[in-house]
Amino acid sequence: MNQLIMLLQHYGLGLVFVNVLALQAGVPVPAYPTLIVAGAYAAMGGNALWKLIAVGVFAAVVADTLWYLAGKRFGLRILKTLCRLSLSQDSCVRQTESIFQRFGPVSMVFAKFVPGFASVATALAGAIGLRYWLFVFFDAIGAALWVGVGVGLGYVFRNAIDDAMNTLKALGQYGVLLILAGFAIWILVRWYRRYLFARQLRMDRVSVNELRDLMAKNAVQAIVDVRSPLSQAATGRIPGARTVDVNKIVESFDGVSVEGEVIVYCACPNEATAVKVAQKLRQIGFKRIRPLLGGIDAWIDAGLQVER
């Protein structure tokens, strides 16, 4: 805490700006420790709270605008790129689209409090063509709440924060070991989640050319689009594809024979959502089911027809 206060004394509000800008731009550097200590420092006579919040909001809006412009330039495909960095790649795209479709621009008010949602939501706002002034309005409100909570915690609980730092200092090398152990556990948990995710993806895929040939021979019983309605409306569907609710898999396939070939596709990294749906279908008895390699993007890139 003392080191952060020294940095704040030396660099002032610039440290808050750079830290928040970097985090919102996608660099994995936590900003809340800086905001909390900045709030505690403000209570000791440092920078005024309103200045801290204003600088933090400005930095967040600048970074979010970059994601907004990226979404406007590259469309919904930018979501796929962003979600490759997410720990929840299996739900990143669909979860973001579902939340945004349900709450609209208002979702940006709480976006920064939802892990993995903030930058994806701002890019989605640009991809669907949300007016910039409306985007800035709700994004600034969300940034103000997010920054305000951080500096507010530091301001209100400055004594508790200082006591915690003093306790670690009193523990000496044991305090350092405690911090390192916590960090090591966090890394292991992240690695284990990645390992489980990689195991889930071990499933045979069908290529775009194979699917085209199967369709020409009428050898496909069902083609399943597991994307959100928002994504389907933007890019279209493979001709004849059926839409299913990923939360109601069994009901969506009521009356469909479990013997025929079923192809599932999405628009997410590594066909993650399609794989999860395919695994659920196998659990309820479907015998021949494969995800489409590359998803809807591969189908469109091949110049094949889509239906709106």
- The Cβ of residue 206 has, within 10 Å, a number of other Cβ atoms equal to 19
Is 87 a residue whose pLDDT tops 50? no
The b-or-e profile of 143-175 (16+ CB within 10 A means b, else e) is bbbbbbbbbbbbbebbeebeeebeeeeeeeeee
Extract the tokens encoding 72.
């406007």
Instruction: Compute the distance between CA of residue 35 and CA of residue 23 in angstroms, rounded to an integer.
Output: 12
| 237-285 pLDDT tens trace | 999 998 887 777 877 777 777 888 899 998 876 677 787 788 888 888 8
Report the top-level CATH class of 208-301. alpha beta
Is 75 a residue whose pLDDT tops 60? yes
| 146-161 pLDDT tens trace | 999 988 888 887 776 6
Which run of H or E residues covers position 156?
Answer: helix 132-156
Is 39 a residue whose pLDDT tops 50? yes
Q: Tokens 């301001």 identify what position?
A: 155
Extract the tokens encoding 268.
């997410």
This prediction's pTM: 0.62
Domain ranges of the chain: 2-156, 208-301
- pLDDT value for 161: 61
Grouping H, G, I as helix, E, B as strand and the rest as coil, residue 308 is: coil
Instruction: Compute the distance between CA of residue 62 and CA of residue 135 in angstroms, rounded to an integer.
Output: 12
Please report which confidence band the pLDDT of residue 212 belongs to, taking 50, 70 and 90 as the band edges: very high
- Of residues 35 and 192, more confidence is placed in 35
Q: Tokens 């949300």 identify what position?
A: 130
Is 192 a residue whose pLDDT tops 60? yes
Mean pLDDT of the chain: 80
| 104-140 pLDDT tens trace | 888 888 888 876 677 778 888 888 888 999 999 999 9
Instruction: Compute the distance between CA of residue 176 and CA of residue 183 in angstroms, rounded to an integer.
Output: 11
- Cα 163 to the center of its chain, rounded Å: 35
* Geometric angle at alpha carbon 67, from 65 and 71, rounded to 5°: 115
